[in-house]
Amino acid sequence: MNALVDKGIISEIQSGNNFEYVITGNAALIDTDYKVLQSQSNDIFVKCMKITRNGLIDLCYLGNDYRTVAGMMPGLSSDVAVTLVAGILSCITKVKTNGFLSCQSILLDKERIFVDANTMKVRMVYIPISEKLFASNADFEEQLRNTIYEILDGVVTARTEKIEMLMADVADRTIPLDLIYQKSREISPEVDTPVAAAPSQPAYVSGNTGNLIGAIKLVACDAPYPFEIRISEDDVLIGKKADLVDKVIDFNGAISRRHCRVVKQNGTFFIMDEGSANGTFVNNVRVGVGQKLPLQPGDIVRLANSEFRVN
């Protein structure tokens, strides 16, 4: 149930899984939230577009390419239920660590949580207006627990002991949601793991020189959710500002907008600092501006205070 619709703050227009929210009450569009939805959140939220309808702001959501969680509930299996829960909690974790958006503006209605049936990736709905769906983060987390409990409780075939244990954890308010997220990832057959690009060949070929051939991965050691950057290109710019770089790291504000560059020369990958505020390091050795350091399997690359292992 959408509390904003119930209060008359927005009105809903629906066509299949596409729908619109027209701002009709005492609320205003938050421009910064809307811009973030356009630029940085394609892996978390259903696409949202702003138009004008009869002089009012109309937010259009494109959900026809997805299934709703509510539509997947009949005949729900244990594996699918846990995958959905892991995907939902992955999206929420990204929002919390990103710091730009508020969880209090995320819909938790199963009719408004969407899933790509091909990849099982979850997409949420965010309403970027001044009136929040939830009065506090505590209210949001309470409803989040109720929603994921309902999903797990909806398993009707081959309910496993792991499902029962996960349900008990969700119902126990003393167990934090980040721990529930970790447990759901451990037992989920498919987890929505953010990556920068898909590799076209093996990550590296070992040899006497240790040179990396074809592609490498920088796998985060301490990110709040599974994260890796896969690099096969000859020149890749890395940082936190999506419109300035090729690969985005969105979970650490200490990383610069244009932080570092990875280049490939004669089959070997090198890393360079782009004048970052908090530095680029390889095995605790700082990379000077204009300097190139080679990357080998097992190296630890530190960008600001985030560490990545070279694979």
Among the residues of 99-160, which ranges form H helices? 137-153
How is residue 104 annotated by DSSP? G
Is 78 among the domain residues? yes
> Domain for residue 240, yes or no?
yes
Q: What is the pLDDT of residues 242-281, one digit of tens each?
A: 889 999 888 888 899 999 999 999 889 999 999 999 999 9
Same domain for 183 and 220?
no
Q: What is the pLDDT of residues 151-187, one digit of tens each?
A: 999 997 778 888 999 999 999 999 999 889 988 888 8
Domain range for 95 is 68-105+133-187
Residue with tokens 């965010």: 126
Q: With 80 as the cut, is the pLDDT of residue 195 above it? A: no
Q: How many domains does the chain have?
A: 2
* Tokens of residue 205, six digits: 């070929």
Its pTM stands at: 0.62
Q: 90 with 180, same domain?
A: yes
Taken in order 286, 288, 293, 295, the sign of the CA dihedral is positive
Domain co-membership, 88 together with 183: yes
| CATH code: domain of residue 277 | 2.60.200.20
Domain identity same for 72 and 158: yes
Please check the confidence at residue 188 and state whether its pLDDT lies above 80. no
pLDDT digits 0-9 by tens, 203-226: 333 233 334 457 899 998 877 777
**Is the same domain home to 228 and 292?**
yes
